[in-house]
Structure 1
Amino acid sequence: MVPSAQRLRCFIVDDNVDFLDAGRELLEREGITVVGVASTSAAAMRGVAELEPDVMLVDIELGEENGFELAERVYHHGGPTPPPVILISARAEQDIADMVAASSAVGFLAKSALSSGAIGALLAAEDYGNPLSEHRER
């Protein structure tokens, strides 16, 4: 079972400090615990190892870095049970739908649609709480 929004531990990766602050405030107001934030892939990988979040929100455009590449690194090197990655962006989903589908991310959320309910729905759709789920076997 997916942790309830009250207990969900989230890590946000975005190179926009204003969004990191706004995203943290919004999600915490909705009951999600934001355990950490990062602006670079290296800091994000350290955060995953140290904080073991339940889910990561990763901006697809991280300055000179790439959120799709970070999602792959987390999937393959994020520990024995890496957290699911939800890609986020200010861009429209239809502009990147094929890339999201080809990635190891569980899905995509437009930054304007970010909410605890939207995160919970993506995680529930992927059945991340089931230890026998193919997504949990890395």
Structure 2
Amino acid sequence: MLRCLIVDDSSRFLDAARELLEIEGICVVGVASTGAQALKRVEELRPDIALVDIELGAESGFEIARQLHRQGTPGALRVILISTHAEQDYRDLIAGSPALGFVPKSALSARAILDLLERQG
């Protein structure tokens, strides 16, 4: 079973995303609402993937993705960026990040995550 950490500053979104993904068969091992919490949770919980909100309050999800990438064992943690905004709003930043890809929050599902993982091999 795929183990997931969700990083978002909205407690409502964290609850809804956790419930949806767990119903669809993804094990949400934890949540975080700041970059520091995300780094700590990844170290403690060793998830397979981290869903990171691009706009995390005053923090940049792109910077958190870079920090998670630097902290983890290469290839072990895959970061997927999420946002309420459209992918084209951030296309160049997503492409330049170490993230595996992007999923809009409105389309978040186990299938969307698995499809992205399969496309990236």
Alignment TM-score, normalising by the size of structure 2:
0.96
Structure 2 unaligned spans of 5+: none
> Which structure has greater helix proportion?
2
CA distance in 1, matches of 2:74, 2:81: 21
Report if aligned partners of 1:74, 1:82 keep a CA contact under 8 Å in 2.
Answer: no
Q: Percent identity?
A: 59
1:106 aligns with one of 100, 107, 110: 100
Deviation at 1:112, TM superposition (A): 0.4
Report if aligned partners of 1:45, 1:78 keep a CA contact under 8 Å in 2.
Answer: no
1:90 aligns with one of 84, 87, 90: 84
Residue matched to 1:55: 49
Residue correspondences, number: 121
Instruction: Point out the structure with max Rg over C-alpha.
Output: 1
Alignment TM-score, normalising by the size of structure 1:
0.85
Residue identity matched to 2:16: A
Deviation at 1:81, TM superposition (A): 4.8
Deviation at 1:17, TM superposition (A): 0.5
Q: How far does the alpha carbon of each residue in 1:84-138 deviate from its partner, in whole angstroms, 9 at most, with x for none? A: 00000000111111110111000000000000011011111112xxxxxxxxxxx
Residue identity matched to 1:62: L
Structure 1 unaligned spans of 5+: 1-6, 128-138
